[in-house]
């Protein structure tokens, strides 16, 4: 729920130590990008774009983590494909934590179009922008890998939000 605390998030990363959202301490926001895993060719393309724009998020005081429920070896294989060493890649997200974040969980359909076996269960994608106080500013979840938020559009939205001190929206949960 916007303006409310997000669930706890702690995972190991490949090259940046253990990650804890509550200790991340961004200037303006944390960008949390959940991806499906190594088996997903759309995820690779999506994370390539995120890696390319990472410095633009840095300029806006936004710290990034991309993470999945993949184990270390699969996360490392994805990182190797990305060749973006500054992009923080987390791994080992528990499916119970994914569900707390509102992510959809899928079961394996076998080998994907790129010849990589899907895990038995894995989380579908989600993108969240979290304020330094741990409250949700923006969230988007998908039931499948298609039609995700574009990172260049998120940058424009962040520029507007920061310039206008625009509040998180969608916070009303009373009677309608």
pLDDT in tens, 114-164: 999 999 999 999 999 999 999 999 999 999 999 999 999 999 999 999 999
Mean pLDDT computed over every residue of the chain: 97
Q: Say how far apart CA 129 and CA 62 lie, in whole Å.
A: 9
Around Cβ 144, how many Cβ atoms within 10 Å?
12
Rounded to 10 degrees, the C-alpha dihedral 24/35/85/16 comes to 30
Parallel, antiparallel, or unpaired for β 10-12 and 18-20? Answer: antiparallel
Q: Helices (H) and strands (E) in the chain — how many of each? A: 4, 9
Q: What is the pLDDT of residue 100?
A: 98
Q: What is the pLDDT of residue 64?
A: 98
Cα–chain center distance at 135: 15
Helix (H, G, I), strand (E, B) or coil at 90: strand
- Among 47, 45, 154, 145, smallest CA distance to 104 is for 145
Band the pLDDT of 92: cuts 50, 70, 90.
very high
Count of alpha carbons within 13 angstroms of residue 108, beta-carbon side: 11
User: Percentage of residues in the chain with pLDDT exceeding 90?
Assistant: 99
- The tokens of 22 are what? 């509550």
Band the pLDDT of 16: cuts 50, 70, 90.
very high
Question: Tens digits of per-residue pLDDT, 33-57?
Answer: 999 999 999 999 999 999 999 999 9
CB 33 within 8 A of CB 64: yes
Q: What is the pLDDT of residue 106?
A: 97
- Among 42, 38, 39, 32, smallest CA distance to 11 is for 32
């Amino acid at each position: 729920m916007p303006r409310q605390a997000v669930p706890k998030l702690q995972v190991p990363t490949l090259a940046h130590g253990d990650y804890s959202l509550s200790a991340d301490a961004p200037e303006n926001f944390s960008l949390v990008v959940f991806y499906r895993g190594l088996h997903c060719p759309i995820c690779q393309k999506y994370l390539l774009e995120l890696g390319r724009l990472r410095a633009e998020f840095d300029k806006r005081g936004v710290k990034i983590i991309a993470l999945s429920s993949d184990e270390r070896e699969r996360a490392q294989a994805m990182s190797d494909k990305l060749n973006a060493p500054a992009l923080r890649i987390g791994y080992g997200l528990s499916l119970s934590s994914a569900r707390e974040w509102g992510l959809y969980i899928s079961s394996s359909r076998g080998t994907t179009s790129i010849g990589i076996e899907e895990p038995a269960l894995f989380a579908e994608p989600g993108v969240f922008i979290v304020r330094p106080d741990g409250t949700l500013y923006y969230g988007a979840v998908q039931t499948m890998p298609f039609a995700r938020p574009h990172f260049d559009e998120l940058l424009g939205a962040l520029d507007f939000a920061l310039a206008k001190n625009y509040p998180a929206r969608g916070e009303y949960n009373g009677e309608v």
